[in-house]
Structure 1
Amino acid sequence: MNLKKHPKTLLVIALVWPELASTAAGVRMMQLLQVFKKQGYGITVASAATKSEYSEDLNALGYQTADIKINDSSFDVFAKDLNPDVVLFDRFLTEEQFGWRVAENCPDALRILDTEDLHSLRHVREQCFKKDIPFTTDAWLADDKTKREIASIYRCDLSLIISSYELELLTDVFNIDKSLLLLLPFMIDEITTETNWKTFEEREDFVFIGGGKHAPNIDAVKCLKSIIWPLIRKQLPEVKLHIFGAYLPQQIVEMNNPATGFHVHGRAEDVNEVMQSAKVCLAPLRFGAGIKGKLLSAMQNGTPSVTTTIGAEGMHGIFDWNGYVENDHTTFVEAAIRLYTTQLTWQNSQDQARTLINTLYAKASLENMLVMQVEQLQKDLATHRKQNFTGALLQHQTMTATKFMSKWIEEKNKV
């Protein structure tokens, strides 16, 4: 393993190898790598996952890569040799597995957790939805996954929170100190008035984009197929709905029915092209968390959207949505038809997308904010950690419990 030496080094422990064209998580990871690359960091991305044919060629982009194993002390040797200045954990599951090893072997490294979204929030919302009961913060607090995720946040020096709603939950419900958190949504280039978006007349049909490994997406497609699309099609009999998504399960593929205008295409080769060709994006998400990549992509491509409160959550702040936010199926359908058929309403919604992107997702200012936060923490990391006694306590308990469990598993695997 040939690991190049740089003045500054970042180690990323990835849950999966990033796929830029398949998932919003892949887009997020590639954005973070670019920020650190601009700052002159030598970057190594390590993962215990298996690469797929769609994984980014990180080596071709100038990054080092390494295959690591869970419950294996070979990681300790690898981490000591690399001796990173910063370690970025891709979702709390990687921090659970490797966090204690990093703390033990690279004690001076700044530990950052990229939550992607609050997985426990998404998990509990899904459970409540399946049981047909209202979601409550009490149910979220009681779940074991919530305790695990919050513990991971405390054990890290900084956690990147993608949604303003989730930041409020962490500070208001758990009273987590703001010095441990940084609101960092997706980072998007400015959209100017010269941006060449397709016009109302140049577009046709509805679109939904969502990966098949993500439960909220599968439920949304089912909702479209059984409830929403038949109602839209009844009023717009010539219009089509195009479903795109990587790794769509067979039950979704079999929903393809051109006779009813319901087209299931699978993976989109070019998400931007697909989104710019559509007139309206539909996203009837009934559970989930974080920022929805499909809706952000719609904004970037000047495509108005209709979604739910869950879909728009934490994505538009005090500003109007670039389309409609409706939870009732009937009003959802009415909004979709209104957007599709009323040019002035559509154009105003398209203009609003520019406002949202340039105000809330401005790449330059967000990158600068992350860089400043990292540099500030590195200047006095010891004091920062002293002030996070809960994190120190949890780190101690984790290293006591997880360490010996992991070593037991490692010895068992040898046998």
Structure 2
Amino acid sequence: MIEPRATKVLVIGYVWPEPRSSAASGHVMQILDVFLDQGWDITFSSPAGFGEQRADLTALGIDEVPIELNNSSFDAFISELAPDIVLFDQFMMEEQFGWRVEKHCPDALRVLESCDLQSLRLGRHQRLKERLKASDDNNDFNELFAPAAREEFEHMADTDLAKREIASFYRCDLTLMVSEVEVELLVEQFRFPRNLLHWCPLMVDVPSRASVPFEDRAHFLHIGNFRHAPNWDAVLWLKSAIWPLIREQIPGAQLHIYGAYTPPKATALHNPAQGFHVMNWAEDALQVMSSARVCMAPLRFGAGIKGKIVDAMLCGTPNVTTPVGAEAMHDQEAWPGAVTRSAREFADHAVQLHNDKTRWLDAQAHGKTLLASRYRKTVHGPALIQRLVDCQQNLANIRRDNFTGSMLRHHQHKSTQYMAQWIEAKNRLNQE
């Protein structure tokens, strides 16, 4: 009897995963882990250079194959590999390689992993800029944090990024979304077909061990990749408005800020006299999170769900954030800390959590409950596999019913193909 071969998966990454640097890479690694649990044969490719903190995929049994943009060598590579599933990590990779995948492996299931809705993040960033330009008040952001879904749509709909991003979703057979809020925005406002989306949040193993106790912890913590604009803005808001209010109440308070790819403009904010410590990259993010008493995530814009807050819950560390930080993360469950809308409110709740052990323990317990109810790998991993298998079995019907996607592939892929071939020919001439 011939044994059936393992499902072949090709993941085309925008970057090589750096799970210790970003939540987006962490989510990709979680998906890869789910595939490995199935015994699937995985190849990871990316046109990006190797980053400083990239994961060692080969140690996990995953093949690493660098690829190039606008180079027909990819055609021979994917034809020989013949994957059953191709996962694009971020829509830009579908734009670049989607037409090649369709041409050489037309029967492969095409899946897009969306770490967040980038056009939503851009729209919110623009609203923040408008708000800051209109007022010098760096404290109260109630209006910023209370837009209706229609207002979100109106800030996104006319942007080139939204048109590119959502067109890419249509061209795929399935798009993985980490945020239920973003699913509803796409379905209700953009009229995107719900059957082409799958909710796949961060997936973790709920810890059974005891967390570091309250008495053995100290200081406040902020953590986040500095290349991610919402994180940099959060640090600026901490420095200018929130941290001075905390120091008024706790004069000796210390804030440790960690983040990958720390730029000079961030290290310039380092000021031990003010208890404001820019610590660069954390070798072990969970270790520094476990030693902190309060995690602070003052996000004034952003999208998706927040890896730093999931990490805080894993470590039993209460957090203070904003409606942007808490969005799509807790449904009806109690928040493991506080959700605030102004610098003063943020500072007051952070101080209360820092000083009040009873409140701190309640927040920690809420975090454990939330992890178990919404982020268990044992729930979302099998659900993801089942959805992919169902899509494979119904692929012809999915594509037939998605005429908009077929139309977009016809027009966009033709133009992308001709542009890529022109660039490749030009590069060849330049090398001769």
For Structure 1 versus Structure 2, the TM-score category normalised by the shorter chain is over 0.9
Alignment of 1:65-104 (within 5 A): 65-104=64-103
Distance 1:234 1:89 in 2: 48
Structure 2 counterpart of 1:16: 15
Structure 1 counterpart of 2:296: 282
Structure 1 counterpart of 2:197: 181
Contact 1:191–1:357, Cα closer than 8 Å, also in 2: no
Structure 2 counterpart of 1:358: 372
Distance 1:175 1:217 in 2: 31
Describe the SS at the equivalent of 1:142. coil
Distance 1:123 1:31 in 2: 26
Distance 1:52 1:140 in 2: 31
Contact 1:159–1:180, Cα closer than 8 Å, also in 2: yes
Residue 7 of structure 1: CA displacement? 2.9
Residue 115 of structure 1: CA displacement? 0.6
Q: Match of 2:44, as an amino acid?
A: V
Matched, 1:139 2:155: yes
Q: Match of 2:175, as an amino acid?
A: S
Alignment of 1:85-234 (within 5 A): 85-132=84-131, 136=151, 137-192=153-208, 195-234=209-248
Matched, 1:29 2:34: no
Describe the SS at the equivalent of 2:201. coil
Matched, 1:60 2:76: no
Residue 6 of structure 1: CA displacement? 5.1
Residue 79 of structure 1: CA displacement? 0.8
Distance 1:67 1:334 in 2: 49
Residue 66 of structure 1: CA displacement? 0.7
Contact 1:6–1:42, Cα closer than 8 Å, also in 2: no
Describe the SS at the equivalent of 2:215. coil
Contact 2:299–2:321, Cα closer than 8 Å, also in 1: yes
- Number of residue equivalences: 409
Cα distance per residue 1:288-315 (max 9 Å; x no partner)? 1111111111111111111001111111
Q: Residue 409 of structure 1 is aligned with which of 404, 423, 426?
A: 423
Distance 2:294 2:357 in 1: 12
Residue 53 of structure 1: CA displacement? 2.8
Distance 1:403 1:281 in 2: 47
- Deviating above 2 A after TM superposition, structure 1's stretches of 4 or more consecutive aligned residues are 131-136
Describe the SS at the equivalent of 1:397. helix
Matched, 1:337 2:336: no
Residue identity over aligned pairs, in percent, reads 47
Distance 1:282 1:391 in 2: 41
Describe the SS at the equivalent of 1:50. coil
Contact 2:125–2:301, Cα closer than 8 Å, also in 1: yes
Evaluate the alpha carbon distance shift between residue 73 and residue 364 of structure 1 in structure 2; reply closer, same or farther with a 3 A threshold. same
Q: Match of 1:185, as an amino acid?
A: P
Distance 2:421 2:120 in 1: 31
Q: Residue 257 of structure 1 is aligned with which of 249, 253, 271?
A: 271
Contact 1:190–1:357, Cα closer than 8 Å, also in 2: yes
Distance 2:160 2:104 in 1: 28
Describe the SS at the equivalent of 2:320. strand
Cα distance per residue 1:202-221 (max 9 Å; x no partner)? 21110000111001111101
Contact 1:7–1:41, Cα closer than 8 Å, also in 2: yes
Describe the SS at the equivalent of 1:102. helix
Distance 1:179 1:19 in 2: 31
Q: Match of 1:344, as an amino acid?
A: T
Describe the SS at the equivalent of 2:234. helix
Distance 2:190 2:409 in 1: 18
Q: Match of 2:18, as an amino acid?
A: E
Matched, 1:322 2:324: no
Contact 2:10–2:87, Cα closer than 8 Å, also in 1: yes
Structure 1 counterpart of 2:39: 40
Distance 1:226 1:94 in 2: 37
Q: Quote the RMSD (CA, aligned, Å).
A: 1.3
Distance 2:311 2:32 in 1: 20
Q: Match of 2:178, as an amino acid?
A: I
Q: TM-score scaled by structure 2?
A: 0.93
Q: TM-score scaled by structure 1?
A: 0.96
Distance 2:55 2:214 in 1: 34
Structure 1 counterpart of 2:48: 49
Distance 1:355 1:214 in 2: 29
Distance 2:82 2:24 in 1: 26
326-335 or 129-138: bigger deviation:
129-138
**Unpaired runs of 5+ in structure 2?**
135-143
Residue 128 of structure 1: CA displacement? 2.2
Distance 2:229 2:160 in 1: 20
Distance 1:33 1:117 in 2: 18
Describe the SS at the equivalent of 2:103. helix
Structure 1 counterpart of 2:397: 383
Distance 2:193 2:312 in 1: 34
Contact 1:68–1:75, Cα closer than 8 Å, also in 2: yes
Describe the SS at the equivalent of 2:176. strand
Distance 1:56 1:308 in 2: 31
Matched, 1:398 2:397: no
Contact 1:10–1:41, Cα closer than 8 Å, also in 2: yes
Distance 1:8 1:347 in 2: 45
Cα distance per residue 1:18-60 (max 9 Å; x no partner)? 1121111221111111111111211100000000231111112
Describe the SS at the equivalent of 2:20. coil
**Unpaired runs of 5+ in structure 1?**
none
Cα distance per residue 1:76-98 (max 9 Å; x no partner)? 11111100000000000101110
Distance 2:190 2:104 in 1: 30
Distance 1:292 1:380 in 2: 33
Cα distance per residue 1:379-413 (max 9 Å; x no partner)? 12111111111111111111221111111111111
Residue 72 of structure 1: CA displacement? 1.1
Residue 127 of structure 1: CA displacement? 2.0
Describe the SS at the equivalent of 1:201. helix
Q: Match of 1:333, as an amino acid?
A: A
